[in-house]
Amino acid sequence: QVKLVESGGGLVQTGGSLRLSCAASGTVSSINAMGWYRQVPDKERELVAVLSSGGSANYADSVKGRFTVYGDNAENTVDLQMNSLKPEDTAVYYCYSRLNWGSPYWGQGTLVAVSA
């Protein structure tokens, strides 16, 4: 099992920045990907940015050029730097990890609210 704890959410104005952090504990040696998803009411949870253990990053088209995902393998953390925030970025952001046999784990979620 893996436990994921997020921090860094909050309220920010359009054009502002936030940095989300996630720390993993538990069976961290089995993790082969970590990153961030987000979800709004009546929508499916969507990928924002995921970093694979090999170092490649996958971003949603809507955040490319604005968000950057960073991983620290030594400390089992993954951060999401969010710049040029827009109201449509408002969502609950969930830290995500995937074990090498495919099992997903999720953090509790942290709210990011971007005011117009």
| pLDDT for the residue numbered 54 | 82
The whole-angstrom separation of Cα 63 and Cα 86 is 10
The whole-angstrom separation of Cα 21 and Cα 71 is 10
Averaged in consecutive runs of 10 residues, what is the pLDDT profile of the chain (116 residues)?
96 98 94 96 97 92 98 89 98 96 95 96
Question: Residue 106's Cα: distance from chain center in Å?
Answer: 10
**CA proximity to 5, closest of 33, 34, 29, 30:** 34
Q: 37 CB contacts (<8 Å, ≥6 apart)?
A: 45, 46, 47, 48, 93, 94, 96, 106
Predicted confidence (pLDDT) per residue in 41-58, tens digit: 999 999 999 999 888 999
